[in-house]
Amino acid sequence: MPITFHNDKRMPQGRLAVTSYVIVGMIALLLFGFWKLQIIDSDRYSQLAERNRVRSIPIIAPRGSMLDREGRVLVDSYPSFSVLLLRDAPGQVERLLPQIADGLSMTLDELKQEIDAAKAMPKFQPIVIKPEASPSDIAYIESHRADIPVIDNRNAHGSPPSLPARRFARQRDWLRR
């Protein structure tokens, strides 16, 4: 009589087939999910990623007057403000353009030209739409900050318009000594 050994540790063929079908089904489900994320919903997730960027607004360091070694003013500065347009929500920007142009004493065409000139810039980077804002422009921005969240102001320091002439006169006077 032949001796037969029964290996009870072996998984029966039926269980093995079911387990392999379950594993193949889970892999197929994962592949379908990846395909859906990468192919079908790619536009949605790329828009979400575009909006999720960190916006950096450059802050110009405050400067004072530059003096020569004798204490005379070589270059003077005065406080000025620039008006920035935040383009995080393009639909909101388009809707508020007439109101912004009216409040900043600009024509709608001037405002659209500034926006068109900055089309190549990244959407998260603000556009300077008015480099030399008047006090009334700053007051308008501050009073309408809740109504028009797409505009902001930035403190910048400028030089007086007659600076090159004054600088030339000082250099001429210094050379005459």
pLDDT tens sequence across 101-124: 888 888 889 888 888 888 888 877
If DSSP codes are grouped into helix, strand and coil, which group holds residue 104? Answer: coil
Average of per-residue pLDDT across 85-112:
85
Give yes or no for a contact between 164 and 93, defined as CB atoms under 8 angstroms apart: no
Burial of 137 (0-12, 13-18, 19+ CB in 10 A): buried
Using alpha carbons, list the distances in angstroms from residue 74 to 55, 63, 65, 157, 174: 36, 13, 7, 16, 12
Residue 177 and residue 172: Cα distance in Å, rounded?
A: 9
At 16-48, the pLDDT tens digits run 889 999 999 999 999 999 999 889 998 888 888
At 137, list the tokens. Answer: 């422009």
> What pTM value is reported for the model?
0.48
